[in-house]
Every structure is written in structure tokens, then in C-alpha cells.
Structure 1
Amino acid sequence: MVSVKYNKVSIAYDDFVAIDNITLNIHDGEITTLLGPSGCGKSTLLRALAGFVEPFEGQIYLGDKEITYLPPQKRNTAMIFQNYALWPHLTIFKNVEYGLKLRLKKQIVCIADINPKGVIEGLTFNSYGASE
């Protein structure tokens, strides 16, 4: 794992300020839970970490690397959406398989053919997660 830091981050959707000047440090190895009512900004914080929304103020770090304006595909993060992010015409296994095909850039015939140990051994790990 790697530390996550939000430094004085503010995020708005049009005129609505969803996150206002938050500073949060999640240290390497910590498990953190975001709790709160609907609309309080939990998902917005996660979307900002994944790169799907940009703050208008502040910085976001993974480890020592600032990622505030780094495109999502360059962050080496993942996000599981709450609703409607799966292809409804595919099974759960086929949805997972699709992501693996993109990530590993290989043709995987069937997820049942994947040897999890082999997949893990095929990846190298840097300070920001898995890479090829």
C-alpha cells in the first residue's frame, strides 16, 4: 500500500462546493473508512483520488507523488462504482475478465483459466502499486 494525502482540497460541481478545504492523511498500511450521510462528499473524495474529478484548490498525493492533475489512466488506482458500472449483458466473471484483459494486455480466454498466482507473479510492484 501507499499513503494518501489530501492537502487543503476543495471540489465543486458547477456552483455547489462539495468538498471545502479538506486535509486528510491516510498513512501507509492504515485502513480508513469514510462515513457520512448522502451528499457529504465521500464519493467525491474517492472520485478525486481516482482522477475522475479535479479539485479547484489543493493537492492530492499518492506517497510522495502529487497526482492532482494526473489523468486517471496514469494513476495506477482503481475504483469500484456503487451502481451501474457493470455491463448488464455480461456475467460477473466476464466483467472482471474484461478489466484483466485491458490491464494485462493479453487475451484471456476464460477467467476460470487464470492462475491467480501466475497473474500476481507476472506483475511487478512499485511504490504506487502493480505495473507491468
Structure 2
Amino acid sequence: MRHRMVAAGALLALAGCATGMGGAAGVPVQFIGTWNGTGSQSDRPGEWSIQAVIVGGPVEQVGTISYPSLECGGVLLLRSAGANWLEVEEDITYGPCEDEGTITLTPMSDGRLRYEWRKEATDVTAEGTLTRG
């Protein structure tokens, strides 16, 4: 009986680590795929295009992001995930976009994702919607 309790505790601890730190269990399946949409920023008028490819996987890097109309993009690094949210950090690798922003994606009732971007120590935010495909 004691061995079963220890094994169950170890399994729960590993599951918690996988969810908090990435890994195959880190990205809920509903977020995996190619997403396209538009966004707008709090400090400038107009919309810009977004393309995110979320692959999940056993590493910290869980996808890529590009902003075709802004000519920039980079990789997405997992920060945290839950059944109804995915939080990733952007590492912009090319172009003039602001680096080290945090993106929170949340499912909407119509199947799209709500995109919210923020950067600590600034007042600039961005928001948008993404559609699978």
C-alpha cells in the first residue's frame, strides 16, 4: 500500500511539473496548430497581422510567432498553461518588434483564440483574435 501511495504522489508531482514547465503535457491540445489573425496596439492606431504556430513538445520552445505586416517574428517560450489559457513569452529573433513580451491566449466560445500581449514595466498592451488555419 505504501508503495502505491509513493508512486501516486510521484506521478502527481511529475504531472504538475510538466504543466508548469512545458513538455508534452504543458500545452493543452486545443492550442496546438496554426493560428492567423489581427491585432492592435494601445499606443498606435491600425491593425497588424499575426501568425502563430504552436507545436507543444518536450522543450521550452513551444512554437513560433510572426507579424507579417510588421516584418518581424520569433519563437514562443512556455511560461504556464492551464485548461483555459496558455501563457508564452516572445523571443523576437528578427525585425523591429518589441522583444520579451508576454502573450496570453484564451479560447473563445466560437473556436477562436483571444490574444493579449503585455510587457512588464511598460503601459503598452496589444490585443487581437486568432483563427485556426
* TM-score of the pair, normalised by structure 1: 0.28
Bigger share in strand: 2
* TM-score of the pair, normalised by structure 2: 0.28
